[in-house]
Structure 1
């Protein structure tokens, strides 16, 4: 197998090639290791690795031998250094055990070869932590790879690996998926395990999963990792059949709402809005009922609730690192905005946190009501195709409120579905005139992954993206 053949296959195709004996898992690992090294010279997306050999995995798993990376945040592997994007952890701590999700990745057969970059504690819509430096977008090296799963997304987009771990507390799967021309599904709250270290994250805002290049990979991986463990805080109904069976299934005639104006009242690039309108036309032509509509909620209370919840969680996370390491947090080992959020979070009272969660409940009830009238809400993923490197500077002199607003002003369509816990998926359905990918988001009610996957597969067929490749790609280096 040469590099062109390797990069042409999604994870499902690569697993089939290994299972058939066309190529061995060791040969694939060698190709992927070189590919990771080659693209990382330009992208700076690898935090640790590549390893000399993949981490142990199940040889009978669905994706046995398929190269993979895990993001340097939340999910971790036994003995593999994790830094969470912060200088507080120096060269990293070595966890004594896998997280439950890492167990699922191993059981699926994924051959983990590296750890990918993230912003400090994941609180940014790009990936430029001081501890690693800037991760760059393979479509244009002057632009952000998105965040907080930008390292994973850049490596997948550049062809080094077919899919990668990601997580999402405000858009951190969907934003980098949009920036890099990938698929990014944020599952329903409780769908993918967070344990055993966490019962929830960010008051239930954060969910774990992956970025991929094909809808069938997204569905198949969800089948492998969506497992509940004893003691999980959220346990939700399993699907009626495998999600892989939804790919190619008829989605029936759906009620689809379209919304392209920022709930924050901030600028939306006309090319992004036009891309959503074009997708809406495609869905209408496929027989769906499509009309303009949006949930009716106030953005400002939602933003302020995010300031409280994010800051409190950052303070909690830093307290955990201090307890583990004995290293005290401060301006010398935290980026300025992180330190501001931590200090703010330390001042948050129980009443303030309760009121923030009450705001989230109010917004969630409205969105739930909205989805009794509509099956899907179609929006942009991000307000613009991408942002230039440095535009979201976590080391800037900003308050917690100013920093949170600056982030959400650039991605005002994603945080709503973290608050509600409902699933949303970003699809790479358009390109800007500059050649940057444009992501389009589809959101649905709780536990509607099956329906979203059916519609996504329909759009993948109608508006294919598999042949698009960025300027930095393993086949051209």
Structure 2
């Protein structure tokens, strides 16, 4: 068994989370420069193995660390921005080699809100082409590797961010989620990954242009308190007036919850035995803590699988058709990887189903809300089986084979993207191969607070296993 690859050492970062580092900087026990230099050294130590940094910004980070940092919640804390969000002065490659990425003239709207919290950006993290795949792998290039075992996938699409946080390069990194892309890599890398409610934060332009916005922005972290503090701090910059504020969650609630339980998905594939055991053990733990856990019906029909697939394929088709207008004049759809091209072909074959698909995608939010009236949260797996080895989801795999594998693997996350509801991934177990196994909790629209309270409860009752310095 491969040993974990990590960057933890006795430097300014230590093994503190982002909240701890921010406090040390605020009280002048550390300087932003010390922390930045330590994070850069860590990145340089492990990235040649992990391949998680798409665009480094070390010089810019050092320059920023020498300037006054202000009093924002995470002032001076090093981070990475996922390379599908615009960061002024740097290219936005979207994980693709089908075009020459332009240098962003300004920050994206979400990036601007994110950076208002005081983060210092060390660079942009890797993702599979346009975030379409659930593993951060590329055609003809080295994949992003899982720091728990480099033979395995780091997940996707926020795989680079997850690998960097799990390996200890930075304590927190930007991620976003259009079908599971926060929760899947968090599950693979043993992190906390909260996909917030649709429109909880400012959206970047690509999400605003979607017929149904399935993308939510967020972070991956090593502690529940970092995730909670991040979302509370984001509300000091922007609050969606149509959503109940999350506020600052600092621990579990005393309320006894009614929690629905879903172990097998609607796609016809049974959840693997190891994952099933972790979910069942989590249910038993919740019951021992006084909560009620019961099996519940699935909130959407089986047609949801075909609908979400067609929508995903439609996004690929729109990129392939209009890429030279919205991305770069030299965009060449023939240079997209085989999986992206396969999605485009899939949409062309089923294009006449678009109107009804869009109707049902819109309707999924109402169906979800109706079912959630009876529950405070829903417990399920994040993934249909344990973390796969690299190559299992490689984009050059024949499309029909890869599509079937993704359907079996990414079985539980897309519903929340269509419905716009919040969901969180928590690392509650470890597989026989030594990699994390996560569970997912979902809640009603706008109720991230309940998810964070459950996360605090479970983190205290069964502390999450992390990669640590040996």
Same fold at TM > 0.5? yes
2:278 matched to 1:275? Answer: yes
2:439 matched to 1:440? Answer: yes
Mapped to 2, the partners of 1:451 and 1:106 lie a distance apart of: 26
Q: Secondary structure at the match of 2:208?
A: coil
Mapped to 2, the partners of 1:405 and 1:360 lie a distance apart of: 21
Cα distance change of structure 1 residues 415 and 196 upon mapping to structure 2, 3 Å threshold: closer
Cα distance change of structure 1 residues 134 and 317 upon mapping to structure 2, 3 Å threshold: same
Mapped to 2, the partners of 1:123 and 1:280 lie a distance apart of: 32
8 Å CA contact 1:295, 1:367 repeated in 2: no
Mapped to 1, the partners of 2:235 and 2:381 lie a distance apart of: 26
1:367, CA displacement in angstroms?
2.1
8 Å CA contact 1:117, 1:132 repeated in 2: no
Give the TM-score normalised by the residue count of structure 2: 0.91
Query: Which residue is 1:187 aligned to?
Result: 196
Mapped to 2, the partners of 1:329 and 1:352 lie a distance apart of: 27
Mapped to 2, the partners of 1:7 and 1:356 lie a distance apart of: 49
The superposition leaves residues 325-373 of structure 1 with CA deviations (integer Å, 9 ceiling, x where unpaired) of 2124333x11112123234446765x63221122224443332221111
Cα distance change of structure 1 residues 343 and 226 upon mapping to structure 2, 3 Å threshold: farther
Query: Which residue is 1:468 aligned to?
Result: 466
8 Å CA contact 1:157, 1:182 repeated in 2: yes
The superposition leaves residues 22-72 of structure 1 with CA deviations (integer Å, 9 ceiling, x where unpaired) of 111001000000101111121111111142131859522110110100111
Query: Which residue is 1:317 aligned to?
Result: 319
8 Å CA contact 1:202, 1:310 repeated in 2: no
Q: Secondary structure at the match of 2:454?
A: helix
Mapped to 2, the partners of 1:277 and 1:4 lie a distance apart of: 39
Query: Which residue is 2:133 aligned to?
Result: 124
Give the TM-score normalised by the residue count of structure 1: 0.90
Q: Secondary structure at the match of 2:95?
A: coil
Unaligned runs of 5+ in 1: none
Query: Which residue is 1:263 aligned to?
Result: 266
Alignment of 1:148-297 (within 5 A): 148-196=157-205, 198-201=207-210, 203-226=212-235, 236-239=242-245, 242=247, 244=248, 246-297=249-300
Give the number of equivalent residue pairs: 458
1:195, CA displacement in angstroms?
3.3
Cα distance change of structure 1 residues 28 and 79 upon mapping to structure 2, 3 Å threshold: same
Q: Secondary structure at the match of 1:18?
A: helix
Q: Secondary structure at the match of 1:428?
A: strand
- Which of 44, 55, 58 is equivalent to 2:51? 44
1:284, CA displacement in angstroms?
0.9
8 Å CA contact 2:113, 2:237 repeated in 1: no
Unaligned runs of 5+ in 2: 1-7
2:31 matched to 1:24? Answer: yes
2:84 matched to 1:77? Answer: no
2:463 matched to 1:453? Answer: no
1:435, CA displacement in angstroms?
1.3
Q: CA RMSD in A?
A: 2.3
Mapped to 1, the partners of 2:175 and 2:211 lie a distance apart of: 16
Cα distance change of structure 1 residues 83 and 433 upon mapping to structure 2, 3 Å threshold: same
Q: Secondary structure at the match of 1:78?
A: coil
